[in-house]
A and B are shown apart, each in its own frame.
Chain A
Amino acid sequence: MTVKKILLVLILTSTQVMAQPPRAVRPMRSPAYPDRPPADPATVERGKALYGVQCNFCHGSDARGGEGGPNLLRSELVLNDQKGELILPVVQNGRGEMPKLNLSAAQVSDIAEFIHSFRVGGYDVSRMTPLSIVVGDAQAGGAVFKTKCASCHSVMGDLKGIASKITDPKILQNTFLMPGGGFSRGRGGVNVPPTTVTVTLASGQKAEGRLVRIDDFMVTLDDAEAGQRTFRRDGDSPKVEIHDPLKPHRDLLPGYTDKEIHDLTSYLVTVK
């Protein structure tokens, strides 16, 4: 996960109305481990050819493991190896189930350069396979829509053409689960109306506006005319009512089965 992405997830999971400082989520890979300097392409090519013949079957074409041979990328020995000096004895002497192979030091050095040319890390965009998430039953999804959504939405009305507006099914799925949510993939172009708040003072006076921040002690709202106003809170006084336009969607979250979600997505992608 990139830092940017973590931040996005963080922003989303913390409230939109409070600036929660980025907290240390579980350590993710950062670009902190320097990649090896790029090797001479001709060497890597030679190494690749030799690897393909000698090692590929057992260790896999991407060195992540194959028929019987372990993943070499995360191997301590390979990670400590610089130019084949640690790999050489394994190849020349064999080890456990691995037979010894008749290769010269120069050849193993070339093979090492090839193995070291792979990026070593967990999160690797190049390995992400773009697979269709549209696996549900569209007809069943239509029925779910009737029971869970139709009280507020209509595919002939406000959601007309939603699949043309949001063409990526994953974004569409994230969007109906939480409009404006899941936005590590983009917001799907939806404009979610802001959360607003009504503050009723002891005098009966009311202030209303977009909710900027709230905690147990203060509430700040942005009123189009008066600008930002902050009110001190003392328990229940003044009265504070938050209007969260996404409450219906939040309330739906605990009730979904994954099948309903996938069916709904398969249905909504047809609403072009």
Chain B
Amino acid sequence: MMKIEKSLLAAICILPRLVFGQALDPALLTKPLGESWPTYSGDYSGKRYSSLKQIDQSNVKNLTLAWVSKVTPGAGAAGGGGRFGGGASAVIIGGEGTADMGGGGFGGASSVRASILEVNGILYFSMPDNAWAADARDGHELWHYFWKTKGGTHIGNRGLGMWGNWLYMETPDDFLVCLDAKTGKERWHKEIANFNQQYFSTMAPIVVGNHILIGTGNDLDEPGYVQARDPETGDVQWTFYTVPVKKGDAGLDTWGSLDGAKHGAGNVWIPGSYDPETHLYIFGTGNPSPAYTNPPSRAGDNLYTCSIVAVNVDTGKMAWYYQVNPHDTHDWDSTETPVLVDGEFNGRPRKMALHADRNGYFFTLDRLTGEHLVTGKFSEAANWVKELNANGQPIRSLEKDSTVAGSLVSPNNEGATNWPPPSYSPDTGLFYVPSNEAYAMYYLTETDPRGAMGLGGKEEDGLGTMGGYLTAIDYKTGKVAWRHRYPGTGGGLGNGILTTAGKLLFAGDLGGNLVAYDSANGKILWHTHLGRVTNAPETYLLDGHQYILVAAGDTLYAFTLY
């Protein structure tokens, strides 16, 4: 025994990747998305387009359930999880708090709404306070880590980041936790934001070189930021504030006062994309605060809230920005992941960033310079814009701010789209996004000239929707190429999209189906009724077989061809 163990150990040391293969090879991160899913969007580009094409238009109708696996969040999960996937593992418990939020809180607290990593045959995924590893061949649980929380908004967790053998998770009470991918055991945790200031952290950490890129959320008025942390120690490498926080900071002239600016929010709670050529991390920022009221301290465009921002990962310095929603007054965060695309524009090749915003507008930008190329309106109902200015920015009609007597506005607060990941297929040249055409009455309820705090000061009464859609946009014109309306009298937002070189588009619909469409025209080719779909579908290749993976609440489903 002893001997075998020893030789195994030796083997692990010499050939870590080949023998046990836990570690993530960083080269994988810059390759186009294919066999693995090593980061939030699969690869750095945010396209969620997989080069896998074993499953294609001709055979997708034969797609079969490969396995189902259910997990149980919380400390009490030991022995209770893995109903389908085999015996659950013991729960590893960490955290500085006392609370077991288990399945409590919002719908997102007990649902996998996150991206699932697939690296060397193992899946890594999360819910708020919970991380798991499972075998990608049959879904059985390998370990479960549970974080006892101090509190914080438990709205969702967007996934894990991976660097070599280590995994990184943000917690709602503002810690970055580093886990050993092999065992799930905690290596360390570091505070990343101040809980007293009501920050809460949901973002999937993004690993670029030796930087762990993180962001947080906040619904009081505290400033947003992106931070780079050391993967070994968790120490801060740099911090980029999305709003001015001191005299002399750029953008201060777009606020009424410094106090307004440094309480101006702009939180970054969804991962951005990364351009390895320029070393730019390109992400969207959240709404300004107070979200719905207009105190003099907020006078101006409120940079860099509701913007697409490019920051150099080595220095943390901003290279460019483009504000998609100057002086937002509807809490329409622009955190939706920008999608990096190389393609033709006006007859010449361009490196671009594409973004469909919660505010109902789509943007094509040059991602080297931030130059504006296209603004398109993908929501028919959106009615809050007075005009597009010379730089393609939508300028709001003042009367569509919240008013005491009520303003009829589309989108509703949830937005024409939201954070659920869009996709882009180079096969079709189309950008795909879930969209919704909802109207709401926005009533101003606090007339205090100092404004409200955070999300206070308005009452929103939903009036229903003109429909929920799967929408395909031509990035060259910003026009809707086609859209598929989900049947029914109402609507809602779908949950994120995957496209593949098999000329397929996978997405959950509003009726609880996972559906495969022809990515060229939205024709339905396959579906299965899971009851609900809660994340964007993903794909990976294992033992020569392509899998389609999707989450439905606390359950993962994998499909393949036999």
Contact = CB atoms under 8 A, between A and B. Distances in A.
Contacts of A250: 464, 466, 489
A71 B462 CA distance: 32
A62 to B, nearest CB: 9
Which 9 pairs between the two chains have the least Cβ-Cβ distance?
A: A122-B454, A15-B490, A215-B511, A182-B461, A22-B107, A122-B456, A14-B492, A15-B488, A128-B445
Interface string B97-122: 00000000111100101000000000
Given A131-B404, A215-B511, A258-B408, A253 B450 contact: no
Given A25-B413, A27-B217, A74 B263 contact: yes
Given A23-B495, A33-B152, A177-B441, A261 B455 contact: no
B441 A173 contact: yes
Nearest to A60: B450
Contacts of A79: 194, 196-198
Contacts of A6: 106
Interface string B272-297: 00000000000000010011000000
B431 interface: no
17 contacts: A13-B465, A14-B468, A15-B468, A15-B491, A15-B510, A21-B107, A21-B532, A21-B534, A30-B106, A74-B222, A76-B197, A122-B453, A124-B453, A216-B527, A247-B489, A250-B464, A250-B489
Interface residues of B, number: 98
A30 B405 contact: no
Interface residues of A, number: 84
B308 interface: no
A13 B490 CA distance: 7
A244 B399 contact: no
Contacts of A177: 408, 441, 463
Contacts of B259: 65, 70-71
Interface string A1-17: 10100101110111111
Contacts of A18: 486, 488, 490, 492, 510-511
A136 interface: yes
Given A32-B152, A71-B259, A184-B460, 10 more contacts: A12-B462, A23-B107, A23-B418, A26-B287, A29-B220, A30-B154, A32-B105, A216-B486, A242-B489, A262-B406
Interface in B388-437: 399-400, 403-408, 410, 412-415, 418-419, 436
B511 A214 contact: yes
Given A23-B492, A216-B513, A121 B456 contact: yes
Nearest to B488: A15
A9 B463 CA distance: 9
Interface string A111-149: 000000000111110011101111110000000000000
A87 interface: no
Interface in A209-261: 211, 213-219, 240, 242, 244, 246-247, 250, 253-254, 256, 258, 261
A174 B463 contact: yes
Given A122-B456, A131-B447, A133-B404, A23 B493 contact: yes
A267 B268 CA distance: 45
B532 to A, nearest CB: 5
Given A122-B453, A128-B446, A262-B406, A26 B462 contact: no
A38 B445 CA distance: 27
B490 A121 contact: no
Nearest to B290: A122
A9 B455 contact: no
A215 B487 contact: yes
A1 to B, nearest CB: 7
A264 to B, nearest CB: 11
B418 A28 contact: no
A17 B491 CA distance: 10
A47 interface: no
Interface string A64-100: 1100001101101001100000000000000000000
B65 interface: no
B321 to A, nearest CB: 21
A46 interface: no
B497 to A, nearest CB: 15
Interface in B521-550: 524, 527, 529, 532, 534
Nearest to B286: A26
B77 interface: no
A69 B486 CA distance: 52
Contacts of A242: 487-489
A33 B490 contact: no
Contact of A178 (B151, B155, B463): B463
B441 A13 contact: no
B172 A32 contact: yes
B529 A217 contact: yes
Nearest to A76: B197
B195 to A, nearest CB: 8
A209 to B, nearest CB: 15
Contacts of A32: 105, 151-154, 172, 200
A53 interface: no
A37 interface: no
A83 to B, nearest CB: 14
B454 A121 contact: yes
Contacts of A24: 106-108, 113, 155-156, 419
B510 A215 contact: yes
A215 B461 contact: no
A195 interface: yes
Contact of A21 (B217, B410, B413, B553): B553
A3 B106 contact: yes
A165 interface: no
B63 interface: no
A160 interface: no
A242 B529 CA distance: 22
B489 A17 contact: yes
B464 A178 contact: yes
Given A18-B488, A26-B331, A27-B202, A123 B406 contact: no
Given A121-B453, A122-B290, A80 B404 contact: no
B333 A182 contact: no
A214 B333 CA distance: 31
A15 B492 contact: yes
A34 interface: yes
A122 B406 contact: no
Given A122-B290, A123-B456, A261-B408, A214 B487 contact: yes
A18 to B, nearest CB: 5
Contacts of B156: 24
A185 interface: yes
A136 B405 contact: yes
B263 A13 contact: no
A253 B408 contact: yes
A29 B446 contact: no
